[in-house]
Structure 1
Amino acid sequence: MLRKSLIAIHHLTGVGWATIGRLFQLGWEGGKISEHILSQLPAKPAQVIRKNWSSAYMEKVIQQLAQKQIDTMTVFDDDYPDLLRDLPQAPWVLYLLGNRALLTSKCIAIVGTRKASTYGKRVTEQLSRELANETWTIVSGMAAGIDGIAHQSVLAVGGNTIAVLGTGIDEIFPRHHHKLYHQLIQSGLVISEYPPGTPGHPGLFPQRNRIISGLSFGTIVVEAAERSGSLITAEFSMEQGREVFAVPGPIQSPGSKGTLTLIQQGAKCVQSVTDILEELPDWRTEPFTQTKKEIAVTVDLTKIEKEVLSYLTNEPQQITELIEKMTGKIPISDLHTSLLSLEIKGCIAQLPGAHYIMKSY
């Protein structure tokens, strides 16, 4: 009942990630939603639920998905990817077409500009094929340019690849990737967190990028302009504590501005596939065997990180609260840097709304 209820309520326009999270916080276990719970939700989503929610609606949604042969995965499923589950806003529901098992394979993302140069195309083909031959599953966004080339190159050598869409699972965007879309369903996997029928919208694509990086041990940016969706994916990857790789290019090329900046900021410069593989040794691709307590013992913290950690508790604190508490003690820039570092080291967790909480072991 809970699984079906989650999938169905996820279809309601106006009921977003935070509202669903609030429902669970209030004790909803699927099925009927009491007036007591609805009264504690924001007015607009509460009104949408009152107007549309029923057991008949739930069954209708499930039947429609079955008719379209669209598979689903929820955050409550055993095979939901652990890397994705660790995200501050892990998708409640994923819609799938293709090989579901690829979501639990070892993944690495390849992204880049839609206006790929000849150089960018060749590098993408080479890296994609070589990584596929090393049994890595290549994750990208099925966009024009670097994304599409990465998928096509992997399929050409019989490798595994996952496309994360910024539209509903049944919406093909861009249109000229109609053939690629069906090849991916046949020989790989296409996924989306948006309900079927959701059209493309500029605001959806940056949001889906967190899933591309979230599924992956690292993100490779081949070509990217100064302001690029690929850089958003790289930023998500850094925030999630994953590896970031960048391919260097000519300093005069607009398509190299973003990757060169990433290298300046500390991304690993990629000259060959070896540069990637040496940062992803075999143990990174296997289940972690250390307990959280063992990991905590081996973490080395800087003096500033220890100070920041002393202000965090088991109760979520908003970033503005921390800034107020630490004003005059450390620079704000050091606070942000320390929070990111502590999150990467597994000492704290970031929750929705820029809230931070100490992890308990």
Structure 2
Amino acid sequence: MLEKYFGDLSTAWKANEAELSKVGLDCGTINSIVYWRSKVEPARELEKADRFGVSVVTAVSPKYPSRLKEIYDYPPVLYIKGNLLPEDQLSIAVVGTRNPTAYGRQVTEEIVTALSRNNVTIASGLARGIDTISHSSALKAGGRTIGVLGSGVNVIYPPENTAIAKQIIENGALISEYAMDMGPRPENFPRRNRILSGLTLGTLVTEAGEKSGALITAEYALDQNRDVFAIPGNIFSAKSSGTNRLIQQGAKLVRTESDILIELNIESVATQLEFKETLPVTENEKNLIRYLGVEPVHIDEICRTSKLPASVVSSTLSMMELKGTVKHLGGMNYTLSRVIKES
């Protein structure tokens, strides 16, 4: 909002209270901006980040996560400790209660392990309970994981997760919109959840009660037009009342990792990424990609527009389906796979 109104973040940073009020901000927000502006010196902040090996990425940088920028209130600045890689585009947020039952622990470990082995990056909030289980399960499976913090990236909370935070940095990244040295504040955690859901293809709630903060992440995901998944639990368990209600309201019920992979077309994406390094794209494949898109196209239409023989089109589409480049929807109708659509 501020960047759009003032044209750039530098001008917004220097704006006085009267100018900030013209943007439509309430008095509380304006007072908060003025207060924290007096506490933060940009040059010192950048120097401190550099000293800790933290990247400071603005929304105009090519390094800024493209999916996160799709949401309404994306953070203008991100602090990143570690590395975000292209393969992290295939990511799922996994959240839940801070006090899981044995059932919640088991299903989280099993689902996250299976997703990680399918090259899906696991994002969570580094909190106690389901978050910690999600990160540790991804790491044990040899996968990548992202921690979104409600504090500065150099302030690990809870402190007992310091060791796992170091592992996350080596196999993913810690991310925060909050300045260096900022400690955990209660109001930070609900806000950070929009980043968690905004970074990912969808949010999985494995176990959560009616008042769990995980439900806030699910609400953000719905607002951001992301998929919401939930694992059903015992109807007599208070720890599963939140997840069961999500399913009742339309969240996709998850029994195994396949329910997520199929829904998001991640299986074909993973296949496409594997073949991408080993099999070249032929001229016929390049030609057919031009005539495929979001909407299903019948093979007869593809033959007509591409002017290729039916036998060539049929064999080429079969190979592209094996690679995960296209998806056969039945009735000889084809569409581009999710990864090609997004690229």
Q: Is TM (by shorter chain) over 0.5? A: yes
**Structure 1: unaligned runs, 5 residues or longer:** 1-17, 299-361
SS in 2 for 1:109: strand
**Aligned-residue offset at 1:196:** 1.1
Greater gyration radius? 2
The residue number in structure 1 matching 2:119 is: 135
User: Shift of the alpha carbon at 1:267?
Assistant: 0.6
Choose from 146, 154, 167 the match for 2:138: 154
Aligned partners of 1:206 and 1:229 also within 8 Å = yes
Counterpart CA distance in 2 for 1:86 and 1:280 is 18
> Given the two structures, how large is their TM-score scaled by the length of structure 1?
0.67
Identity of aligned residues (%): 38
- 1:196 is the counterpart of 2:163: no
The verdict on how the C-alpha distance between 1:93 and 1:278 changes in structure 2, with shifts beyond 3 A counting, is same
1:274: Cα distance to partner? 1.2
Distance 2:250 2:33 in 1: 45
Shift of 1:179: 1.1
- Find the counterpart in structure 1 of residue 236 from structure 2: 252
Do the aligned partners of residues 103 and 195 (structure 1) sit closer, same or farther apart at CA in structure 2, a change above 3 Å counting? farther
CA contact (8 A) 2:212 2:242 kept: yes
Partner of 2:304: none
Residue number in structure 1 paired with 2:78: 94
| 3-state DSSP of counterpart to 1:152 | helix
Aligned partner (choices 89, 95, 100) of residue 116 of structure 1:
100
Aligned to 1:235: 219
Output the CA distance in 2 between the equivalents of 1:63 and 1:196: 10
Q: What amino acid sits opposite 1:94 in the alignment?
A: L
Structure 1 residues 33, 174: CA separation in 2 closer, same or farther (over 3 Å shift)? closer
Contact 2:48 2:180 in 1 (8 A): no
Give 1:223's aligned residue: 207
Deviations 1:107-146 (A, max 9, x none): 1111110111111111111111110111110010011111
With normalisation by structure 2, the TM-score equals 0.71
In structure 1, the partner of 2:6 is 26
Counterpart check, 1:61 vs 2:45? yes
Deviation at 1:180, TM superposition (A): 0.8
Q: Quick check: 1:79–1:104 contact (8 Å CA) kept in 2?
A: no
Structure-1 residue corresponding to 2:310 = none
What is residue 334 of structure 2 aligned with on the other side?
none
**Gap regions ≥5 residues in structure 2:** 22-29, 273-288, 297-343
Could you tell which deviates more after superposition, 121-130 or 42-51? Answer: 42-51
Shift of residue 100 of structure 1? 2.7
Equivalenced residue count is 269
Q: Deviations over 1:41-74 (max 9, x none)?
A: 2374786699689xxx433222121112211211
Distance 1:64-1:254 versus aligned 2 partners, 3 A rule:
same
What SS does the aligned partner of 2:19 have? coil
Any idea what SS the aligned residue of 1:41 has?
Answer: helix
1 CA distance for matches of 2:216 and 2:269? 24
Q: Which amino acid aligns with 1:244?
A: V
Amino acid at match of 2:158: P
Deviation at 1:32, TM superposition (A): 10
Correspondences of 1:1-361 after superposition (within 5 Å): 20-21=2-3, 24-28=4-8, 30=10, 39-42=18-21, 44=31, 57-101=41-85, 104-282=88-266
After the TM superposition, which segments of 4 or more aligned residues of structure 1 sit over 4 Å from their partners?
Answer: 31-35, 43-53, 282-286
Q: Would the aligned equivalents of 2:45 and 2:180 in 1 still touch at CA under 8 Å?
A: no
What do the CA deviations read for 1:20-42 (whole angstroms, capped 9, x no partner)?
A: 43xx523447379777x775223
In the superposition, relative to structure 1, how do residues 34 and 154 fare at CA in structure 2: closer, same or farther (>3 Å)? closer
